[in-house]
Structure 1
Amino acid sequence: MKSTPSRHDTPPLIMGILNVTPDSFSDGGRYSDTAAAVQHALAMIDEGADIIDIGGESTRPGSRAVPDPEQERRVIPVIQRLRECVSRSTQLSIDTTSARVAEAALDAGADWINDTSAGRDDPAMLALAADRSVPIVLMHRQGMPEAMQQNPCYADVVAEVRGFLSARIEAALAAGVAQNKILTDPGIGFGKTLEHNLALMAGLGEFVRFGPPVLLGASRKRVLSTVCREPDLTALMPATCATTTIGVLAGVRVFRVHDVAGNRQAADVAWAVRRAE
């Protein structure tokens, strides 16, 4: 049976990002071919990825929804090929807000659901996670991707995101999702300004303390580009490693990243320090 990572007895997990899309914000089009996608996933596994998160729809700011059949055309062959050639110890995650796509992915061999809408875009998603008894990541997002960066506003971003996630946890439990199958994600970059994103990363410990295991997805995000004054998003691996270190020390359990090797090292060192405390 698949379950979410425990908080204290094992090192944090690295989730490698596999965007099978033409328009993702930093690697769109690089892995839209099945063979290229599978090769990249295998390379990430060799570098230390515990989970591969496969998505067929970009959720970058300004992106538009991709129809379910097109998402399935992109991701299902990749999941099938990976499930045939990698150990079950490597988990496969489907990154989608569509229950139909998630169900097809689970049938093809996926193990997790990563839903950037926390089950709001498709009311069938939480019931599917419950029925299939798989881990589901519930992420905070203010607005829809197409317009979420148009003047996002919060009175207290940490409190409001925490309240949203608490409500979505309750919705998942009410739908029958087991408590040990739920993870939360504060949604760095999803309807937040620079200041909001920094406040959320500074407040990661609050999310860790209040509920289920936390996933952090800060890899190559615009907040890092702005802080580092680096317009080339592919050059932000060191900055991403810094967020991974901060997250491990705060108790975050899963890190969704593009650059696996460096973040695996950062997580391992930070974990060793945390254990020494």
Structure 2
Amino acid sequence: MKSTRRTFIKKSSLLIGTGLIGNPFIAYPSSSKNYTVGEIMDLFIAQVPNAPFPKTVDTLKTGSKDQTVTGIVTSMFATLTVIRKAIELKANFIIAHEPTFYSHLDETEWLENDKVYQFKRKLLDEHGIAVWRNHDYVHSLAIDGVQAGVVKELGWESYYKQNAVLNLPETTLGDLITHIKTKMNVPALRYVGDLSQKTSKILLMPGAAGGRRQMEMIMKEKPDVLICGESPEWETPEYVRNANEMGEKLGLIVIGHSASEEGGSEYMAEWIKENVSGMPVFHLPSGNSLSVK
């Protein structure tokens, strides 16, 4: 199994070659106006129904809303590799989908004396990089931006009806797994079910919606397969296993949290290109923190 960094570099190189992220060796035109971090945040939030939210994890983790943006990097996680790449690209604004400091609320008091936290924080502060988590807002668009990005990544746009259910041409659970592995560039997927099972109706729930929510959606929609980012093994995977043991034809594919939502960060990069004129923007996949062997 290649290292996380080598996988990151390989995928980034492929994306540069296809134009999905910018080539760092090409000079970009400067933005037609000077945007601050806060202005870009407000521009995105303004399109979200019922926003701004009184309670949200979508706060600025480092940097200032008043700083002028020189370039933007979007990614699932603001990893050290992503931060260092942002520095190389002279991009001082990272829009991450998930936490920067290892907990949902990015609470840091308990980390103040930890060398890993201190290293990461110092790197961000020394280079004046602002990190904004865009989780609640991008999920709350009229069409969930993460889900839409994942659908595009999987090449399923023509089957997408702005909700979690997709009716695909009939295939098998095994072939569906192969398709996802290829499109998302993941080495292995976890699953429950019979690989020869015929499938068509798909319930797509990227990320970690929670076991109860996943099972409630299975009960409501009655899909052939649930595709999710992750789920505790004692919840949805056990429910699907029991369904199969009683003779039901139900499949479960667990992609992994990072890969299952990376398309949402790519969606964010595309949104910036369309709405922030001339701003250098780069989508850098952060990859999975876990490897398989």
Q: Structure 2-normalised TM-score?
A: 0.26
Query: Does 1 or 2 have the higher relative contact order (CA < 8 Å, sep 6+)?
Result: 2
Q: Which structure has the bigger radius of gyration?
A: 2
TM-score, normalization by structure 1:
0.27
